[in-house]
Amino acid sequence: QVQLAESGGGTVQAGGSLRLSCAASGRTSSSRAMGWFRQAPGKEREFVAGISWNGANAYYSDSVKGRFTISRDNPNNRMYLQMSSLRPEDTANYYCAGDRYLFRSDRLADASDYIYWGQGTQVIVSS
């Protein structure tokens, strides 16, 4: 069992930066790929970024590539999402997620592969 808790959301002006954190607990959390997803009001949840279990591989949606950076600190059971050059369209609830499988390094964009989810943290980008 893996528990996830996000923090770091808030309100920022367009062009600004935020860093989201995800604290993970559970014996196998550091052996699982993890991801960030977001859901804006009235829209479906979408993939933002994913990182392999060992941090060697990272993947991004086209909408955030070059602006967001995903990373993880396995010894401290944390994952991060550094968000820069934020835009109003980045406004959403952001969720961290843990993979159902162990030791995966690719194809991390499918939400159905994640079975552990945090409660979400809200990000609002004002224009």
pLDDT tens for 54-84 read 999 999 999 999 999 999 999 999 999 999 9
Closest of 120, 122, 118 to residue 29, by C-alpha: 118
- pLDDT at residue 23 in the model: 97
- Strand pairing class (114-117; 92-99): antiparallel
pLDDT for 44 beyond 90 = yes
State the distance between the two ends of the chain, measured CA to CA, in whole angstroms.
40
- pLDDT at residue 1 in the model: 85
